[in-house]
Amino acid sequence: MKKLIIEGQRKLSGEVKISGAKNSVVALIPATILTSGKCVLEHVPDISDVRILIKMMEQLGSHVTFENEVLTIDNKDVKNVPITEEYASKLRASYYFMGSLLGKYGKAEIAYPGGCIIGSRPIDFHLKSFRKMGTEITDNDGRYEFVAPTLKAVDIFFDVPSVGATINVMIAAVLAKGTTIIRNAAREPEITNVATLLNSMGAKVHGAGTDQITIEGVKELGDGYVEVIPDRIEAGTYVIIGALLGDNLKISNVVTDHIASLLYKLKEAGVKYKVEDNTITISKANHIEPMTIKTTVYPGFPTDLGQPLSTLLTQCDGESLFEETIYENRLRHVPYLNNMGANIKAFDTKAIIEGPTPLKGKKVKATDLRAGASMLVAGMIASGTTEITNIEHLLRGYERIVDKLNKVGANIQLIDEEE
Ligand code: EPZ
């Protein structure tokens, strides 16, 4: 098991460069299955989710090389074999193979997807859409079988603008017969990034990034190319750390529009930062006003930044209100923050956070990826030593996080107890 040991209260200065987006690349890789040609993906982060997806591609017969952030995927020998639980259960995004294998072969067999335990996380929108596209789905206790003799276009309206369902239907629809319309689609930037790859392969996807996407089915696809967008959640996490410990800390390779909701909230609360092109320079704020935060779909405040931001809210001068609206179980980090000295009252998906409270280093646990980020921020502002266990969660979504932070002045050790 891996753990982090953090010596807190180190000022941070220098530059942190943001990596490619996890929630984009985990969709881009399975989407390449749609072509028997070659795809080149640039700015690919070296995170555990990517390593698992490479293994899944190789299980399907794909030839993959990964060097210097460039992933080259050659699918000329790909075969439609079942995606086993061994890999599928390790990450949520394994469900993107449903869309790509169905789109390419009209048939797929996949074990249930995994992912962070932050709520029930059903995939009913995905399954309903595939059924409407003419797919027969059999749920064999732990794995799904999909069969669609002819995948046909669909006109679908999502009850909730789901990121995963929007991308999965988009992927399945590019080779389907006719024109698909996705209404009340999610608008997250990762969706536009996937559409860019699909269109580079010869697909006809229009309107990605808006709430209505149209996909005209085509007969086949060719080689593809895409640059993975910078990770807005990683960027937001470093901005939060900079507001608490920065000394002109530079965060580069950021698409600032993608984190506008966070930047506006911080500005309203009195945090000062400078934006130049794709770089944010930020320093510790001596006084931070309390905030009212309600997580929602893009371009609103992202649920994935809720947990790291809640650590910052413990340092605001007064009472902050926090509400999580996407997942029903995403406050599991709160007891650990309170154990470190915070004053948070949590009720289901809401929390009242009284600040400022000095935090003290303690032994805590990362219950999921972004809870891990909340614990990391807490350990960095706490006095003394913090030990965070279950850190595998954090490493799934933040490339070289210990190196990046130590390079700008943090004091963090990554201990692998197996070694
Ligand atoms: C993606 O998850 C991200 N994961 C999540 O990031 C992120 O929190 C989420 O989008 C919201 O932004 C990846 O991209 C791999 P949804 P996804 O479908 O696609 C409900 C992280 O920390 N819903 O947009 O699974 C669902 O329960 C992770 O990086 C249904 O009811 O999220 C949720 O309440 C965590 N039925 C809401 O919609 C469905 O079929 C939004 O989920 C699908 C979703």
pLDDT tens for residues 362-378? 999 999 999 999 999 99
User: What is the model's pTM?
Assistant: 0.97
- pLDDT higher than threshold 60 for residue 419: no
* 197 touches 224 (CB < 8 A): yes
In the residue annotation, 116 being an active-site residue is answered as yes
Q: What is the pLDDT of residue 114?
A: 83
Q: What is the pLDDT of residue 418?
A: 64
What ligand 1 atom has the least distance to the C-alpha of 370?
22
**Cβ burial, residue 131 (10 Å; 0-12/13-18/19+):** middle
What ligand 1 atom has the least distance to the C-alpha of 127?
40
Helix or strand run (H / E) with residue 268:
helix 260-268
Classify 80 as helix, strand or coil: coil
Residues 173-179, mean pLDDT to the nearest whole number:
98
Q: What is the secondary structure of 5-56 as a DSSP string?
A: EEE----EEEEEE--B-HHHHHHHHHHGGG-SSEEEEES----HHHHHHHHH
Q: What is the pLDDT of residue 142?
A: 82
- 112 C-alpha vs ligand 1 centroid, how far in Å? 15
Average predicted confidence (pLDDT) for the chain: 97
Tokens representing 288?
Answer: 């931070």
Ligand 1 pocket: which of 163, 228, 234 to mutate (most atoms within 8 A of CB): 163
Identity at 126, one-letter amino acid code:
H
Q: What is the pLDDT of residue 84?
A: 87
Min mean pLDDT across 61-65, 137-141, 231-235, 253-257 is at 137-141
* 208 touches 192 (CB < 8 A): yes
Ligand 1 pocket: which of 128, 131, 158, 160 to mutate (most atoms within 8 A of CB): 160
Hey, whose CA ends up nearest to atom 44 of ligand 1?
162
Q: Report the distance separating Cα 296 and Cα 62, nearest Å.
A: 37
Instruction: Report the percentage of the chain scoring pLDDT > 90.
Output: 94
Beta carbon of 23 within 6 Å of any ligand 1 atom? yes
- 115 C-alpha vs ligand 1 centroid, how far in Å? 10
Beta carbon of 26 within 6 Å of any ligand 1 atom? yes
Peptide bond into 358 cis (omega under 30): no
Cα three-residue angle 221-227-231, rounded to 5 degrees:
125
In this structure, the strands spanning 279-282 and 292-294 are: unpaired
What ligand 1 atom has the least distance to the C-alpha of 328?
34
Q: What is the pLDDT of residue 141?
A: 82
DSSP 93: G
Peptide bond into 335 cis (omega under 30): no
Residues 361-393: b if buried by 16+ CB within 10 A, e if exposed = bbebbbbbbbbbbbbbbbbbbbeeebbbbbbeb
Hey, whose CA ends up nearest to atom 9 of ligand 1?
163
Classify 352 as helix, strand or coil: strand
Classify 203 as helix, strand or coil: coil
Residues 75-93, mean pLDDT to the nearest whole number:
93
Q: What is the pLDDT of residue 1?
A: 86
Catalytic position from the list 12, 27, 78, 116: 116
- 94 C-alpha vs ligand 1 centroid, how far in Å? 13
Residue with tokens 């991308």: 167
- pLDDT higher than threshold 60 for residue 138: yes
Beta carbon of 165 within 6 Å of any ligand 1 atom? yes
Q: Nearest-CA neighbor of 354 among 362, 345, 363? A: 345
As beta bridge partners, residue 204 has: 216
Residues 336-350, mean pLDDT to the nearest whole number:
97
Tokens representing 107?
Answer: 């048939």
Is residue 229 very low, low, confident or very high in pLDDT (cuts 50, 70, 90)? very high
Identity at 86, one-letter amino acid code:
E
* 287 touches 244 (CB < 8 A): no
Q: What is the pLDDT of residues 117-137, one digit of tens each?
A: 788 889 999 999 999 999 999
Residues 74-98, mean pLDDT to the nearest whole number:
94
